[in-house]
Structures are given as structure tokens and as C-alpha cells.
Amino acid sequence: MAIELAPTIVGPSKQELGKTASGSVPIRAWYYNPTDDPPSHPHQYTPNREVSVEHLIELGVLTWTQIETEDYHTNEFLNNIKVDRSYNYGEVLTVAPDRLNNFEALTQKFFTEHLHEEEEIRFILDGIGYEDVKDFDGQWIRIEIKKGDLIVLPPGMYHRFTLDENNYLKALLLYQGKPCRIQFDQGPDADAMEVRKRYLESVLLCKQNGDIKDNQLENISYEDKTKDDQLENKSYEDKTKDDQLENKSYEDTKDDQLESKSDEEDDVSVVYTPTIHSLELATTNMSFQAMTV
């Protein structure tokens, strides 16, 4: 089911490029805790599970903060973005019970998961709201949008919107080309839309392929490390064997030295013993001769 809200056209922006602002505080985002609280509550985990701006960019979400809202028509920073991204039409929309017809029905519809064929661009002039977007794994991420914030959601991205507990938000809605605010609720028909397929191919699948590649590289690195460890162990084993062989060689040398020493001692004994016997024999002969005389 699609809903189209007729916009009030402000007209094309013809401002020149302005200087970009710096030092902005990052937009706040966190993983949505699906409790039974009303959608207007923050729905934070305890402790809060924050999501970085870098992660939002990976999903295709662009954000700027702390932009001056007074005289926004002539705001150089805002006009710089408008010209750079070809935002040439805009309308101001106030979402509040006394400012929007069919407030209850429309806010419930805004909170239904849906997508658009064009970028969704919102510059918050006053109040606070929440944009919920789907993460790579299907978890909801809640993005707080407040006065001075500018948010851009890519075409084909499933998302939903709600106000905070104050039930008030005033925003400048920007467009590329002809203004259009048709939402396509999540379902088989929306899943089959070309804009959804393009988003999947350009963002979600690229991220998954990148993760697969990272895992493959990590596995290769692990395998290389394992091989290095094996080579190191092999080297250690070889060194141990070499040490053992060296010790064995040393022990064999020592045994040879001991054996040689033993042989030398045996040789000395052999030489010495006959000498003793000769002396004894000589003495005996001398005694025998004396007796004979």
C-alpha cells in the first residue's frame, strides 16, 4: 500500500556554495530495544548500545548536526549541501496533533516499516523525533533527530519514523527534482522493487561480501600463522635433534676417550708385569746359584 502526501513547494534554491561547518557533535544513534514501551520512548538497552556515525555511513545514512535553523533559507552551510546534492525543492511539514490532519493514522503509518524510491531528506527546524533503520543483520537502529540535524536516508532502505514523547516536530523536507513522498510498506511487492534490489546490491550485499573477504583474509592469515608456528616447531625439533646428536657425538667421543685411556692402562700393565716377573726370576736364579755354590 502506498500513501502520497501533496507537498507545498517552496521553490528551487539558487544559492551559491557556502563554507562547510566543522566541529559538529555526532548524531546520536543506538540499537533499538524492542520492549512494550510506546514507540515514542527511547527504547535503549542498559547499558546503552550506541551506534557510530561511521556505521551509519556504511548503511548509506548521511547526517549533519548543529546547523543554524534561523534564516535557514540563506544558511551557507545548508545551501552548500543543497547545491552539492542537487536538492532543488523543499517543503516545511509540522507533525503535531493540532498541526497535521489525521495525526493518529498518519503517525501510525509513518512508524510502519517502509521504503521510498527517492532519498528521504529531513532538516529538523524544531522538536525531536526518531528515525529507525535496519542494520545489516536486520536489527533496528534508532537515530535521534532534533533541531539543527540534517539526515539523508538512501532510496530502497527500510525505515520508520516516530515522534518523541513531546509529540512535536517541525522539519524542512528536501527533494531532488519533482517532490514526491510515496511510501511502500515492507512486503513481497516492496522487496521486488528495483530500488530495493539496488540498495541490497550496493550496500548490504557489498558489506556481506566485504565481511566474507575479511574472514577469508583472516583465515589465510591464521593459516600462515599456523604454518609459521609449524615451521618454528619443526625448526625447534630439528635443533633439538641436532643438540641430541651433538650430545650423542660428545658422549661417544667421551666413551672413545675413556676406552682409549683404558687401553693405555692395559698396555702399561702388560709392559710392567713382565718386568716384575723378570726381576723375580732373576732373584730366584741368584738364590739358586748361591745354594749351588
Residues annotated in the binding site, as ranges? 114, 116, 120, 159
DSSP assignment of 100-137 equals STTHHHHHHHHTS-EE-SS-EEEEEEEEEEEEEEE-TT
Contact partners, residue 77, CB within 8 Å, separation at least 6 = 18, 19, 20, 21, 64, 67, 68
- Whole-angstrom distance, CA of residue 220 vs CA of residue 224: 6
ω into 47 cis (within 30 of 0) = yes
- Strand boundaries in 158-220, DSSP class E: 159-163, 169-175, 182-185
C-alpha cell at 172: 524542512
Contact 168, 52 (CB under 8 A): no
CA 64 – CA 53 distance, rounded (Å): 10
Please name the residue ranges forming H helices in 17-112. Answer: 53-59, 76-84, 103-110
Cell numbers placing 182: 510515496
Q: List, as residue ranges, the binding site for Fe(2+).
A: 114, 116, 120, 159
Residues 167-177 as b or e (16 or more Cβ within 10 Å = b): bbbbbbbbbee
Annotated binding site for Ni(2+): 114, 116, 120, 159
Quote the CA–CA distance of 64 and 21 in Å, as a whole number.
Answer: 10
43 in helix, strand or coil? Answer: coil
